[in-house]
Structure 1
Amino acid sequence: MKAACKMVKYYLSQYKFLCIAATNETEIAQAQALLDWLRKNLQPGDGFATDRVLQFGPVAARRSKALDRQLAVLMQYGWVHELPAGTKIDGKKRRKAFRLSPKA
């Protein structure tokens, strides 16, 4: 029963994501491109800093404000989690650090 509830929650979150995507296609499409890039370049559960995405990420995510909006969308749906300021990523303390969700 617990596993079934988890599965239902997952599919409901996907349904919600798709419903919003239908109303705000550009922002959701850019967030999806960022998620695809993160999945390709990181393992689920890995931490990352925004400077890596700004330098190597999808073109639409290479501006700080655009990246912040895309990360907000991904956080809203649980694909990315914000880490506390000062978290070490690649051996450096970061002001902005995130973790790709294990379900990604």
Structure 2
Amino acid sequence: MLTSKQKKYLRGQSHQIQPIFQVGKAGVNENMTTQISEALEKRELIKVSILQNCFEDNSVVADEVIHNTEADLVQLIGNTIILYKESKNNKQIDLP
């Protein structure tokens, strides 16, 4: 679980990151969560974009992704989810 100080730090780090995954009308599936988990292992901090044609609520999509990837939610702002998960092999971010 992240503290508010850590979330603030990660939000600052995420400004220059572009979303690398998009959730569309198909919603969240097993293949997508596997790919997100692999990306989190390599990068630790990623953004996921929720497209306008997604039928599910943004908070439901975020909860599904967090539950399936065991990541921490940094922020859900508009149609963008910012996720963090500490890497076991590729540690890049030192949290305050």
The TM-score with structure 2 as length reference comes to 0.35
**Which structure is higher in strand share?**
2
Larger Cα Rg: Structure 1 or Structure 2?
1
> Per chain length, whose mean CA-contact separation is higher, i.e. which structure has more relative contact order (CA < 8 Å, sep 6+)?
2
